[in-house]
Amino acid sequence: MGRIVLVTGVSRYLGGKLAAHLAADPGVDRVIGVDVVAPTMTLDGVDFVRADIRSPVIAKVLGEAEVDTVVHMGVLATPRQAGGRSAMKEINVIGTMQLLAACQKTPSIESFIVKSTSSVYGCGPKDPAMFTEETEPRHTPTSGWAKDSVEVEGYVRGFSRRRPDVCVTTFRFANFIGPVVRTPMTAYYGLPVVPTVMGFDARLQFVHEDDGLESLRHAVHARKPGTFNVAGDGVITLSQSIRRMGKKQLSVPQFMFSTIGRNLSRTGVVDFSPEQIRFMTYGRVLDTSDYTATFDHRLRYSTPDAFADFAHRDESALSEVPNA
Amino acid sequence: MPDDSLTPSKAARLVGNTGPQPHEVIPDEQIIDDRDLSQFISDRLAGKYEVDDFGFDPELTDKVLMQALRPMYRKWFRVETSGLDNVPDVGGALVVGNHSGTIALDALMTQVALLDDHPARRHLRMLAANLVFETPFVGELARKAGHTLACQPDAERLLNSGEIVGVWPEGFKGTGKPFSERYKLQRFGRGGFVAAALRTRTPIIPTAVIGAEETYPMIGNAKGLARLLGFPYFPITPTFPWLGPLGLVPLPSKWMIHFCEPIPTDGYPENAADDPMLVFNLTDQVRETIQTTIYDLLVKRNSVFG
């Protein structure tokens, strides 16, 4: 018998793509997609349920469909998607708590997978060159998506203690990139002149959108508990990536960078949280050997390859694509 | 790596039809002809180069950063390097050196020595203080030159991947000591470097550098100013800050670098790194070796500027 999977956050690009990807998988019997708004993309083979994970409705959906696997893709990266920072925090943290509460009450649940982010490590000058899953954050994130993700991971750990029979898998992804996905990082690269922090050249890693979704599909089948870093091999520096796009770079002193970032955020073009600015100053590189060994899966795209697949896409053709 | 193939312009130079010959013979590897140079620049501007996980950019390091240090190594300090056969051609090793001279020129000269004078042209990957990575430009260049934060995970990761890792356990205590204490080794930290070598079973190569002590003889330390600027010390030398930017020019002292016989670490039991007594003993052994070698080199050197 195949799996019955519930995916949250399917109205956004990655959630929707994953749901469709799983629906096409012969090893999966049924995919239920959940979100508060209807998806704009067509989700072939996905049973869409319009529900707020912050409401008890979700428990009913889980129980009636006898869901065995939940993939939580519903943690938002930017306040703009939620309509403000407090709404974002509510969706991310309270939403996750409600979802976990519903899962705890549903006996059919065997596996819970959460898409988290490597930004839970924070970043700064005192960090080792590469983060393993055990690396203790020396610069803990204090705001935004990264802080929400730290809290989300905390609640997920609590859930795994209360339901030790459920296989809980947490993926800490590097930034998603690729020919279609739209994130704050891709919006940043879309600026006519790309501002960087003077005197710093962040080391960056990306995960190709196809690889990221494929790794989540692997997790649905493999059921390996634990926390894993997921990123394309290798490193690209910020200045190098801008050069490879053939764009102009504008070095801005550190203290002015946050002012520029704030103003750009206000125009709604890009989202520059303080966390994002730290990331663009110091960067972050992950040790992914644990993922590769446990899931026996090598990502198809290295970081430079994933970036190359993104670098020359046509932004204007993608305006209809929902955010990641 | 230098290109050994016969490029058209090199071939032309060999048959002698390129007009006037240079008076001074320049080693081939230092010549980048115009065509290579424009190719190099356009590749750099297009981002066509590789960096490793640490941000190390070997092309930039070999062709630009080290190129800037080479005249200092050859002409200004006239560095005499010995014991290079103690550094393996392949595989990891931990180079442990003495530290002096207010700024880490000794570390940089050791890097040039291993790249240019070692037959296998080894890159030295240094472990540096976090102050380096907090500082704009300095941190960026350090990463590109292959250096990383002095911490156990990074040291072990580099040693395990077969790199030559450089560490200066005296840290700021070494570079910031007054001139009157020159050539006296300071305390050697907590022996973290020995633990890293033990865990990765890589040899330790004690390395002595003389000459760096006289580059910026530190006769005073403006502690208040240092605290204000967030520096570990603020050096006062006979020329700095009195002569302004001119005071930044290091005195042309005569340098010698000696790589001592490696201390093997593969003969110890599995959990040797957790044995504090062994770690302290090995730390002392490394320190003693460097101190004795410094005295030997000082005897060999004719004079400070000789």
CB A27 within 8 A of CB A2: yes
Instruction: Tell me, yes or no, whether A269 lies in a domain.
Output: yes
Mean pLDDT estimate for chain B: 89
Chain B residue closest in CA terms to A232: B53
- Which has more confidence, A300 or B246? A300
* A56 inside domain: yes
Assess whether pLDDT exceeds 70 at residue B5. Answer: no
Give the CATH number for residue A303: 3.40.50.720
Between the alpha carbon of residue B89 and those of residues A254, B1, B93, B258, B264, the distances in Å are: 42, 15, 10, 17, 16
A81 to chain B, any CB pair closer than 8 A? The answer is: no
Query: How confident is residue B23, by pLDDT bands cut at 50, 70 and 90?
Result: very low
Residue among A233, A235, A227 at smallest CA distance from A290: A227
How many Cβ atoms from other residues are within 10 Å of residue B303's Cβ?
Answer: 7
Q: A253 in the Ramachandran plot: left (φ > 0), alpha (ψ -120 to 50) or beta?
A: beta
- The CA distance from B198 to B95, in Å, is 14
Average pLDDT over residues B266-276: 93
Residue A246's Cβ-count burial label (10 Å; 0-12, 13-18, 19+) is exposed
pLDDT in the model for residue B22: 40
Selected residues 240-259 of chain A with any CB under 8 Å from a CB in chain B: 240-244, 246, 254
What is the per-residue pLDDT across B91-147, written as a single tens digit (0 to 9) for each? 999 999 999 999 999 999 999 999 999 999 999 999 999 999 999 999 999 999 999
Nearest residue on chain A to B45, alpha-carbon basis: A243
Rg of chain A's alpha carbons, rounded to an integer? 19
CB B96 within 8 A of CB B193: yes
Interface contact A199-B153, CB threshold 8 A: no
Give residue B29's pLDDT.
52
What does the pLDDT average to over A122-134?
Answer: 95
Check CB contact of A285 with chain B, cutoff 8 Å: yes
Q: Under DSSP, is residue A306 helix (H, G, I), strand (E, B) or coil?
A: helix
A126 min Cα distance to partner chain B (Å): 6
Residue B234: both structure tokens together: 């603020």
CA–CA min distance A131, chain B (Å): 9
Question: Are residues B204 and B196 in contact, defined by beta-carbon separation less than 8 angstroms?
Answer: no
Which tens digit of pLDDT belongs to each residue from A102-116? 999 999 999 999 999
Mean of pLDDT values over A131-158:
93
- The pLDDT of residue A214 is 97
Residue A125 touches chain B, beta carbons under 8 Å: yes
* Chain B residues near residue A127 by CB distance under 8 angstroms: 149
Residues of the domain holding A268:
3-318
For residues A142 and B251, which has the higher predicted lDDT (pLDDT)? B251
- If we measure between CA atoms, which residue out of B205, B240, B256, B200 comes closest to residue B103? B240
Domains of chain B: 58-215+250-300 (3.40.1130.10)
Least confident range of A80-84, B101-105, B154-158, B279-283: A80-84
Count: domains in chain A: 1
CB–CB of A236 and B46 under 8 A? no
- Chain A contact probe: residue of B40, B41, B44, B53 with most A CBs at under 10 A: B53
By Cβ distance, the residue of A127, A200, A236 closest to B139 is A200
Q: Which of B166, B164, B157, B146 is nearest to B54 (CA)?
A: B146
CA of B299 vs chain A CAs: smallest distance (Å): 41
- B137 CB neighbours in chain A (<8 A) are 199
Q: Who has greater pLDDT, A157 or A314?
A: A157
- Which residues in chain B have Cβ-Cβ distances shorter than 8 Å to A135? 153
Per-residue model confidence (pLDDT) at position A1: 66
Partners of residue B139 in chain A, C-beta under 8 Å: 125, 199-200
Concatenating the DSSP letter of every residue in A95-133 gives HHHHHHHHHHH-TT--EEEEEEEGGGG---TTS-SSB-T
The confidence score (pLDDT) of residue B208 equals 97
Q: Is residue A239 part of a domain?
A: yes
The partner residue sitting opposite B149, judged by closest CB among A129, A198, A304, is A129
How much of chain B, in percent, has pLDDT values that exceed 70? Answer: 89
A31 within domain boundaries: yes
In a domain, A323, yes or no: no
- Convert the pLDDT of each residue in A7-49 to its tens digit: 999 999 999 999 999 999 999 999 999 998 999 999 999 999 9
SS3 B263: strand
Structure tokens at A137: 């954050």
Residues B134, A241: C-beta atoms closer than 8 Å: no
Judged by CB atoms closer than 8 Å, whether chains meet at B134 and A201 is answered as: no
Q: By mean pLDDT, which of A157-166, A275-284, A296-305, B140-149 is the weakest?
A: A275-284
CA–CA separation, A184 vs A188, rounded Å? Answer: 6
Q: Return the number of CB contacts < 8 Å for A and B.
A: 75
pLDDT tens readout for residues A255-277: 888 888 778 777 766 777 888 88
d(CA B14, CA B17): 8
Which chain A residues in 177-216 lie under 8 Å from chain B, judged by CB atoms? 197-201, 203
Cross-chain CB nearest to A240 (options B47, B54, B140): B47
Residues 155-184 of B with CB under 8 A from A: 157
Selection from A299, A165, A280, A170 nearest residue A231 by Cα: A299
Query: ∠B219-B221-B227 over CA atoms, to 5°?
Result: 170
List the single residue in A with minimal CA-CA distance to B129: A126
Q: Is residue A324 part of a domain?
A: no
- What does the pLDDT read at residue A81? 74
Identity of the amino acid at A76? L
> Taken in order B259, B165, B179, B187, is the CA torsion positive or negative?
negative
Task: Mutation target for A interface from B45, B127, B138, B140: give the one with most A CBs within 10 A.
Answer: B140
Between chains, do A203 and B148 touch, taking CB under 8 Å as contact? no
In angstroms, the separation between the Cα of residue B144 and the nearest Cα of chain A is 9
- B67 has pLDDT over 50: yes
Of all residues in chain B, the percent with pLDDT exceeding 90 is 79
